């Protein structure tokens, strides 16, 4: 866990090992906040969860619950509740000692984890760190076509990310300008690994695009590779397509397999075209910078907790006995900026966090009207 809770001895509930372990970031969200925010008060006010989970099946594949947020990735074995903490989790006994795929948990821990995830979602949203479209381009050869045979063993489009590691790609469509309709394999290669093989049928020399929807996420160069074959292309030189976020250029490869071949820069079309989307994907940004973002994460946690105290979903009437401000005071904490209120602290930390993000996240982001906006245009 990147954030967690520190024991405050206000509840007899034993939280699961993930919540009570020292957080990777060192951030305990329930320390240094309003004293009314205790584990006991949180559990009394957090919405109740359904308590019915399926029995573990050795033949089923489970995902990582913190990623999927799917209740099917929580199982019951001998009346004990287990949360899947690994992706593609198949055949791993939850009851095994020191399991790397499961953690024994309970309803109270799941309620707190669900709330923490909502806090992180609020942080992403308020900082404008949700997934954003940057650009969409068609890259293909549309000149007068001539038949020719590609050289060497392979030919490829190379997509080389530049700048922010949070710029990702999605290949929406592919086409191959080749006579006939015999299918051709397109190999997706990254860092010496074959990620995927797509079978692409040409349309007798026409630029007919086929939907493929391939997400390219990772570091290093990505190669869209085809075998040496006869294609149709113009005689024009294909210069590198230079964008602010990436460079796209041609290459030829020599070797026994597309993932192990040696590639060299080339300037002739290989008949392969694509529609490519570039987007900002900040899924790891907060995780990578959680220590620097800690004051804002904690302020968001405190703010959302006071919102929950005010909404009081479980209809708790003894706020005073629990040390929780009465309704009018809660409203003041959530609305007034003329004192050291929860909402003022939240806004202050949000402003600081946004300035930090503007400096380090990506040159395509700018601060405008208190929000971060992506400049739409060529990347």
Task: Give the pLDDT score at 163.
Answer: 55
pLDDT tens digits, residue range 256-272?
Answer: 999 999 999 999 899 99
When pLDDT is averaged across residues 49-61 and rounded to a whole number, the result is 89
Burial of 321 per CB tally in 10 Å (0-12, 13-18, 19+):
exposed
How sure is the predictor about 376, in pLDDT bands with cuts at 50, 70 and 90?
A: very low
Could you give the CA distance from residue 8 to residue 27 in angstroms, rounded to a whole number? 15
Contacting residues for 52 by C-beta, under 8 A, at least 6 apart? none
Are 158 and 221 in contact by the 8 Å Cβ rule? The answer is yes
Instruction: Let me know: does 188 contact 195? Beta carbons within 8 Å.
Output: yes
The predicted model gives 22-35 an average pLDDT of 87
**295 close to 349: Cβ distance less than 8 angstroms:** yes
User: Residue 283's pLDDT is what?
Assistant: 66
pTM: 0.69
Range 101-107 average pLDDT:
95
Coil, helix or strand at residue 366:
strand
Q: Which residues of 143-155 are buried (b: 16+ CB within 10 A; e: fewer)?
A: eebeeeebebbbb
Residue scoring higher pLDDT (117 or 376)? 117
Q: List the one residue out of 306, 308, 305, 289 whose CA is nearest residue 352.
A: 289
For residue range 233-260, what is the model confidence (pLDDT) as tens digits? 988 888 888 776 678 999 999 999 999 9
Question: H/E element holding 250?
Answer: strand 246-254
Around 16, how many Cα atoms within 13 Å sit in the side-chain half-sphere?
20
Confidence band, pLDDT 50/70/90 cuts, at residue 124 = confident
Q: How far apart are CA 77 and CA 156, in angstroms?
A: 50
For the chain, give every domain's residue range.
3-129+284-373, 132-280
What is the dotted CATH code of the domain comprising 132-280?
Answer: 2.60.120
Mean pLDDT for the stretch of residues 23-27: 79
């Amino acid at each position: 866990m990147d954030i967690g809770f520190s024991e405050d001895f206000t509840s007899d509930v034993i939280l699961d090992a993930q919540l009570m372990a020292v957080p990777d970031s060192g951030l305990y969200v329930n320390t240094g906040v309003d004293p009314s925010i205790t584990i006991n008060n949180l559990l009394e006010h957090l919405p109740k969860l359904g308590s019915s989970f399926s029995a573990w099946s050795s033949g089923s594949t489970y995902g990582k619950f913190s990623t999927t947020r799917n209740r099917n990735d929580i199982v019951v074995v001998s009346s004990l509740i287990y949360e899947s903490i690994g992706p593609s989790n198949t055949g791993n006994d939850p009851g095994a000692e020191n399991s790397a795929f499961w953690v024994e948990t309970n309803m109270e821990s799941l309620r707190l984890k669900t709330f923490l995830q909502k806090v992180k979602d609020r942080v992403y949203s308020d900082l404008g760190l949700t997934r954003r479209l940057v650009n969409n381009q068609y890259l293909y050869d549309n000149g007068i076509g001539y038949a020719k045979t590609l050289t060497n063993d392979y030919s490829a489009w190379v997509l080389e990310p530049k700048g922010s590691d949070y710029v990702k790609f999605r290949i929406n469509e592919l086409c191959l300008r080749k006579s006939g309709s015999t299918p051709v394999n397109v190999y997706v290669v990254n860092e010496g690994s074959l990620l995927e093989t797509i079978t692409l049928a040409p349309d007798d020399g026409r630029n007919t695009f086929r939907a493929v929807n391939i997400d390219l996420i990772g570091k290093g160069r990505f190669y869209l590779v085809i075998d040496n074959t006869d294609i149709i292309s113009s005689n024009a030189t294909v210069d590198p397509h230079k964008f602010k976020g990436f460079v796209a250029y041609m290459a030829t490869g020599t070797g026994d397999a597309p993932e192990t071949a040696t590639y060299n820069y080339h300037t002739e079309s290989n008949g392969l075209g694509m529609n490519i989307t570039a987007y900002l994907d900040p899924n790891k940004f907060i995780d990578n910078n959680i220590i620097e973002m800690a004051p804002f994460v904690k302020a968001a946690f405190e703010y959302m907790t006071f919102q929950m105290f005010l909404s009081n979903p479980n209809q708790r009437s003894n706020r005073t006995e629990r040390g929780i401000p009465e309704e009018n005071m809660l409203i003041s904490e959530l609305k007034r900026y003329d004192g050291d209120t929860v909402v003022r602290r939240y806004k202050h930390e949000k402003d600081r966090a946004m300035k930090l993000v503007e400096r380090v996240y990506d040159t395509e982001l700018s601060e405008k009207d208190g929000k971060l906006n992506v400049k739409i245009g060529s990347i």
